Amino acid sequence: MIQQSLVRINGKVAILGQKVEKTDDVQVANRLKKLKESFQYVLFNKPRGVVSHNPQEGEQSVEDVYKSKVRLSPIGRLDKDSNGLMILTNDGRIIDKLLNPKYDHEKEYNVRVDKDLKPSFQTKMERGVDIEGYVTKPCKVKATGAKTFSIILTEGKKHQIRRMTASLGYQVKKLKRVRFGPIRLFGVEEGEGRPLYTDEKFALLKLAGINDDK
């Protein structure tokens, strides 16, 4: 900060190695506060048909649907045929800490498949499913209807839920993400977004191991 001329002693720019007495007036530019205030966190309800990453020609992206004055990036992916909660942000500090599977952050989905669930479906899904040589981590599954269930994952392989259900003989018809860690999908219509409420923002940052309330 001294090298960047952000510190002043008695009104003059400080230099490296300069001594400070108790009676000196030291001022530090509050760049960190400005940086924090520039971060944005948005809860976006992605519709089906919208691409979260790398849209091809003719495809509609998240940026096309949710207009923002600053560039916001989705935390994680949600495939084109799925809908629901996405968190958009320009805070690069939290991306890896929220997405890396070693941190075991929960993501919850509501799913509808093409036929009635067998009694063994829940047990097989929860203990892990072999998808092309990779066995998924244990997860939580709860049947919510004859053809519907909720699932809580702590990892995010590409098309993971679709591949898991396909390996057990089912085809996903609808897939909606309803929760990412402490953030739940509410208060926003499909195709729209809103800034995270203060308690949501602090909960998200806490999940990422960042304390920005000071």
In the chain, ranges of CATH 3.30.70.580 domains: 39-104+186-214
What is the rounded average pLDDT of the residues 171-180?
Answer: 98
104 is catalytic: no
**pTM of structure:** 0.81
**H or E element in which residue 141 lies:** strand 140-143
**How do residues 3-24 score in pLDDT, each as one tens digit?**
767 788 998 888 888 999 988 9
pLDDT on residue 55: 87
User: Mean pLDDT across the chain, nearest whole number?
Assistant: 91
Structure tokens that stand for 15 in this block: 């230099």
In the chain, ranges of CATH 3.30.70.1560 domains: 106-180
> How does residue 53 score in pLDDT terms, banded at 50, 70 and 90?
confident
**How do residues 63-74 score in pLDDT, each as one tens digit?**
999 999 888 999
Out of 79, 199, 212, 213, pick the active-site residue. 79
**How do residues 96-107 score in pLDDT, each as one tens digit?**
889 888 888 999
pLDDT on residue 28: 81
**How do residues 107-144 score in pLDDT, each as one tens digit?**
999 999 999 999 999 999 999 999 999 999 999 999 99
DSSP for the chain, please give it. -TTTT-EEETTEE--TT----TTS-EEE--HHHHHHHH--EEEEEEPTTEESSSPPTTPEEHHHHS--SS--EESS---TT-EEEEEEES-TTSHHHHH-GGG---EEEEEEESSPPPTTHHHHHHH--EETTEEPPP-EEEE-SSSEEEEEES---TTHHHHHHHHTT--EEEEEEEEETTEE--S--TT-EEEPPHHHHHHHHHHTT-----
Percent of the chain surpassing pLDDT 90: 67
Architecture per CATH, domain 106-180, reads as: 2-Layer Sandwich (3.30)
pLDDT on residue 214: 45
Architecture per CATH, domain 39-104+186-214, reads as: 2-Layer Sandwich (3.30)
